[in-house]
Structure 1
Amino acid sequence: MAYLVGRTELESVFPPELLVTLDAAVAQGIGHGPTRDFLVRVGLPDKPAAWFEVSEEVCDGEFEIGFEEIADDHPGLSFDLSRWINLGGLSYDDIALDSSTGEVYCLPDDGSAPYLLNRSLDAFAYFLYLLEVERPNYDFEAGDGTFEDGAERRLRARMEAADGTAFAHPGSAWTTVLQYVSTKLQ
């Protein structure tokens, strides 16, 4: 199966021990085949000091499916939260996976309504990969202090080309991440 980013690419920027995969038996509860395969074969980078931290439940393979309590706080949502898995945190927001569609949702820290963040889990992982590839150009601790201009612009262009959904919501978590990249450059 072709993904936007594979295990080899992720291992080129993240140590293999930071890539969280699921045992095939544990992943059987995930109805969306490509997403299940991605979590078993490729995995997600768990790098708390960077952008994304995988939830302890996913790391332990003991996650539960369902976010019905969020629906009570936001009546009228057009998505079925009973199929969601808490993936972890991106910046201060929680990130959920729709286990039947593979779509990735953001649950904002401020309590506002959840929204679609990425159309697929591999797109989400690809964005994390791009941020790590570009890190030496915006994070003085990751490089030699010589930045190649345009990190924020390059990241946004590559992200939008891969998944325009990422910036469809005003104040998207990805917009916040890119604002941070821009701040680090100043």
Structure 2
Amino acid sequence: MPQLTDRSMMESVFPPEKLVTLEEAKLPAEIDAATCALLTATGLPDDRSSFFVLDGGLFVGETPDRFRRCAQLSHFSEYHDMPEGWAEWLVLGEIHYDVVVLDPVSGAVHALPDGEFTARPLNQSLDSFLYFLYLLELERPGYDATVSEDLPDPEALAESLRERMRNADPLPFEGVEPVWSEEADWEGEDAAPVPTWDGVLSDVYETVG
């Protein structure tokens, strides 16, 4: 599958100085080659306007050091029914208080939902994760009132974004109805928590700012 993102794409929506890259020597030896290339050349956004917040534990000085492992998370022992080897996954940051973690071997990205103590699939790869962040920043003027006073149709934009994201990586949307769907029940007593990306798209639908 062709790569979805590169440095120039990310720089078109994030300031170059806000894209954090790491030295290859500071990444684990077992890391997937494609993931390694993205972390060393493309970078992760460290921009306060983004839905993604880079893990502060990455910085112990003036330059990025190393990612924390999941075994270093507080309440690590409370997680249950977790995939084998998850303790060695890398902590990338958070989206809406859901911890975003990376399996360095497979390259898959997972969410550890706030208060659930379990794992959910977030993206098939770091590439599609970055692509989702790219799309959200690209379209920010259409849903963020702090960026633009003219928000013609954020509801239609949320629907369009979800479709583009699903086409690029269907994994996080499998079997999940959009928050705004009449068929969805996210507010009932027994309702499941809203998945991470659908929570973000709900913000787009309702507008930000």
TM-score, normalised by the number of residues in structure 2: 0.79
Identity %: 35
CA contact (8 A) 1:35 1:121 kept: yes
2:146 is equivalent to residue 123 of structure 1: no
Which residue is equivalent to 1:163? 169
Give the count of matched residue pairs: 185
Cα gap change, 1:71 to 1:146, in 2 (>3 Å): closer
1:118 and 1:79, CA in 2 relative to 1: closer, same or farther beyond 3 A?
farther
1:37-48 equivalences in 2 (<5 Å): 37-48=37-48
Name the stretch that deviates more: 88-97 or 110-119. 110-119
What's the secondary structure of 1:129's corresponding residue? Answer: helix
Q: Is the 8 A contact 1:138 1:182 kept in 2?
A: yes
Alignment RMSD (CA, Å): 2.3
CA deviation after TM superposition for structure 1 residue 141, in Å? 1.4
Higher helix share: 1
1:133-185 Cα deviation digits (max 9, x unpaired)? 11111112112424355210111001000001122375210010011111117
Q: 1:124 to 1:107 in 2, by over 3 A?
A: same
Deviation above 4 Å: which 4+ runs of structure 1? 68-71
Distance 1:23 1:169, change over 3 A: farther
Cα separation, 2, equivalents of 1:3 and 1:88 = 22
Q: Hey, what's the Cα distance between the residues in 1 that align with 2:175 and 2:48? A: 25
Q: Does 1:138 align with 2:143?
A: yes
Which residue in the other structure is 1:65 paired with? 69
| SS class of match (1:67) | helix
* TM-score normalised to structure 1 length: 0.89
Q: Which residues in structure 2 correspond to 1:7-156 (within 5 Å)? A: 7-59=7-59, 60-67=64-71, 72-148=77-153, 150-156=156-162
Gaps of 5+ in 2: 177-193
Q: Deviations over 1:116-139 (max 9, x none)?
A: 110000111100000001111111
Shift of 1:31: 1.8
Letter in 2 for 1:3: Q
Q: Choose the corresponding residue for 1:172, options 195, 200, 205.
A: 195
- Stretches of structure 1 that go unaligned for 5 or more consecutive residues are none
d(CA) in 1 for partners of 2:94 and 2:166?
A: 21
